[in-house]
């Protein structure tokens, strides 16, 4: 995909085939009305359950996103937010930055959810001063029809609002990137700025900077309780590192129809599955006492469900053949939501297990990202016009052949079958190499593929690693740490 954004760039530009049409049909309208009815039933459920209300709002978010994307697509093109799909023969012009629509709907959903979570169903006796945290009868745990107050205290409102502020900040920075096409090294640390409100709230309200070490170290120290190490300020540096990595890793692992939204959808689904392991025993199976981390994972669910909804709607229009582009705005926004969930849910290490493909892609891309190997502006796969299939794109060393460390690195990766090298048959000099991304590596191993099949393979890899991460989380981790510590 080639971005061309900016006001006035495309005055008089006519939309071409490939731009998103406005959907309007009687059957589609009836379907939407049916699901709106279901959503409203969940939203105003008789049990006063905020989890059901969140599900209802998420359904409404999906419907609203599917309406707004085709409605705003042509307008985005007219003001200069458009790009050409380089993976198609005719290179159609498509609306760019449609992740902005998803982010706005997500934030609206989270705003409207506040009364359902923190006020309408939060009824308690007070000391008379209006302080909701002070009980007259501390034994009164059940509010309304069985909702347990202790599962979600009113004090969580600060974390919730801080997360929304960080998401909004990341949205603004993402739009700025799509508008001005900021250089990679300049925008690398933008997520660290956006996450600061959440870090400050964590410092004031929670402030725990200790981590549990593996159980065998506790045995060495001759202590029965798990041994902890206080990281102090380094814990906050770790939080900033997570916030920087998540948005940028999704932005790097991109370039074909459906990949950005698809990988985010898969990751969000597995985050929801991970949360279910804590919530289902207490909320559905009614096993007591509930897990101590239930509260944190409920907050995670409340943030992930709307994300799944808007991402599913975006994926509908971004899947091959794409009718819109998600833009860097979506990549940064989705990554920031994942970082917030990991930080507030206190399972950042579990989150990284779900991001193994992104970690591997970053490590594999590092030589080009940090200038050790020449990095062209576009590293997305190259389309063969004759076959209509995608091939691994290449970096060419026409002026300065690789020497020294660069030549050793490329040769080593070539021998390990981690890239394809083209050499001068007479001198053995490296003439070109496939670009260092997982996308190009898959094409190097498999040969040319159609774009949708390539996306399916990559999302299959994402699903496989997420499944592996979930298995590690609930099998290996308890053995290593001796307790629930991820």
Q: What is the pLDDT of residues 129-173, one digit of tens each?
A: 445 444 434 343 444 433 343 445 667 888 899 999 999 999 998
Is residue 360 predicted with pLDDT exceeding 70?
yes
Is residue 18 predicted with pLDDT exceeding 50?
no
pLDDT at 412: 94
* Mean pLDDT confidence for 228-253: 90
Is residue 334 predicted with pLDDT exceeding 90?
yes
The string of DSSP codes covering 390-451 is EE--EEE-SSS---HHHHHHHHHHHHTTSS-EEE-TTT--EEEEE-SSHHHHHHHHH--B-H
69-73, 148-152, 177-181, 292-296 — which is least confidently predicted?
A: 148-152
* Mean pLDDT confidence for 399-415: 89
List pLDDT tens digits, range 427-460. 889 999 999 999 999 999 999 999 999 999 999 9
Domain boundaries, the chain: 2-126+153-354+456-481
In the block, which residue shows the tokens 């760039």?
9
Contacts of 299 (CB under 8 A, 6+ apart): 152, 156, 159, 160, 344, 345
Distance CA 306, CA 421 (A): 44
Task: Tell me which H or E stretch contains 76.
Answer: helix 50-78
End-to-end CA gap in the chain:
37
pLDDT band at 477 (very low <50, low <70, confident <90, very high): confident
Q: For 373, left (φ over 0), alpha (ψ -120 to 50), or beta?
A: beta
212 or 365, higher pLDDT = 365
> Highest-confidence range of 47-61, 147-161, 376-390, 445-459, by mean pLDDT?
445-459
* Mean pLDDT confidence for 84-113: 94
* Mean pLDDT confidence for 10-16: 44
pLDDT band at 218 (very low <50, low <70, confident <90, very high): low
pLDDT at 145: 39
List pLDDT tens digits, range 192-205. 999 999 999 888 87
What percent of the chain has a predicted confidence (pLDDT) above 70? 81
Is residue 24 predicted with pLDDT exceeding 70?
no
Dihedrals phi, psi of 431, to nearest 5 degrees: -95, -35
Is residue 312 predicted with pLDDT exceeding 90?
yes
Contacts of 224 (CB under 8 A, 6+ apart): none
pLDDT at 171: 93
pLDDT band at 9 (very low <50, low <70, confident <90, very high): very low
- Residue 48, exposed/middle/buried by CB under 10 A (0-12, 13-18, 19+)? middle
pLDDT at 296: 84
Q: How far is CA 455 from CA 128, 164, 381, in A?
A: 59, 31, 12
Distance CA 230, CA 23 (A): 55
Q: Burial letters for 213-241: b for 16+ Cβ neighbours within 10 Å, e otherwise?
A: bbbeebeeeeeeeebeeeeeeebeeebbe
Is residue 405 predicted with pLDDT exceeding 60?
yes
Structure pTM? Answer: 0.88
pLDDT at 167: 94
Distance CA 439, CA 38 (A): 40
pLDDT at 215: 67
351 or 10, higher pLDDT = 351
* Mean pLDDT confidence for 66-92: 92
For residue 389, give both structure tokens: 């299939």
Task: Tell me which H or E stretch contains 167.
Answer: helix 157-180
Mean pLDDT score of the chain: 84
């Amino acid at each position: 995909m080639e971005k061309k954004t900016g006001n006035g760039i495309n005055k008089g530009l006519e939309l071409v085939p490939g731009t998103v049409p406005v959907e309007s049909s009687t059957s589609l309208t009836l379907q939407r009305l049916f699901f709106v009815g279901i959503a409203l039933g969940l939203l105003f459920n008789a049990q006063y359950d905020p989890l059901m209300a969140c599900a209802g709002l998420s359904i409404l978010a999906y419907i609203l996103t599917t309406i707004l994307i085709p409605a705003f697509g042509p307008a985005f093109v007219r003001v200069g937010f458009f790009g050409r799909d380089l993976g198609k023969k005719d290179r159609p012009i498509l609306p760019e930055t449609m992740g902005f629509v998803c982010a706005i709907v997500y934030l609206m959903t989270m705003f409207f959810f506040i009364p359902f979570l923190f006020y309408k169903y939060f009824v308690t006796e007070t000391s008379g001063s209006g302080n909701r945290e002070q009980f007259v009868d501390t034994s009164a745990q059940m509010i309304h029809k069985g909702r347990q107050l202790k599962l979600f205290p009113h004090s969580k409102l600060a974390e919730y609002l801080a997360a929304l502020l960080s998401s909004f900040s990341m949205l603004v920075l993402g739009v700025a990137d799509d508008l001005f096409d900021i250089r990679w090294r300049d925008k690398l640390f933008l997520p660290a700025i956006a996450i600061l409100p959440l870090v400050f709230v964590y410092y004031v309200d929670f402030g725990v900077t200790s981590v549990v070490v593996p159980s065998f170290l506790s045995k060495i120290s001759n202590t029965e309780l798990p041994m902890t190490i206080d990281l102090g300020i380094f814990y906050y540096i770790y939080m900033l590192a997570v916030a920087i990595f998540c948005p940028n890793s999704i932005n790097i692992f991109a370039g074909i129809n459906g990949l950005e939204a698809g990988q985010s959808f898969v990751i969000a689904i597995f985050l929801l599955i991970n949360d279910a392991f804590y919530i289902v025993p207490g909320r559905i199976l009614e096993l007591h006492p509930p897990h101590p981390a239930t509260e944190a994972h409920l907050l995670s669910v409340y943030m992930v469900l709307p994300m799944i909804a808007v991402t599913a709607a975006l994926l509908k229009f971004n899947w091959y053949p794409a009718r819109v582009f998600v833009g860097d705005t979506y990549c940064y926004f989705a990554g920031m939501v994942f970082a917030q969930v990991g930080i507030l849910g206190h399972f950042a290490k579990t989150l990284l297990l779900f991001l193994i493909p992104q970690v591997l892609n970053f490590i594999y891309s590092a030589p080009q990202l940090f200038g050790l190997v020449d990095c062209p502006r576009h590293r997305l796969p190259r389309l063969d016009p004759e076959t209509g299939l995608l091939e691994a794109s290449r970096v060419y060393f026409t002026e300065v052949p690789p020497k020294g460390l660069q030549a050793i690195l490329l040769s080593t990766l070539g021998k390990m079958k981690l890239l394809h090298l083209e050499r001068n048959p007479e001198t053995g000099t490296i003439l070109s190499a496939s670009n260092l991304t997982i996308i190009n590596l898959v094409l190097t191993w498999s040969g040319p593929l159609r774009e949708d099949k390539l996306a399916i393979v990559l999302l299959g890899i994402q699903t496989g690693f997420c499944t592996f991460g979930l298995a590690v989380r609930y099998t290996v981790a308890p053995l290593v740490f001796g307790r629930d510590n991820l």
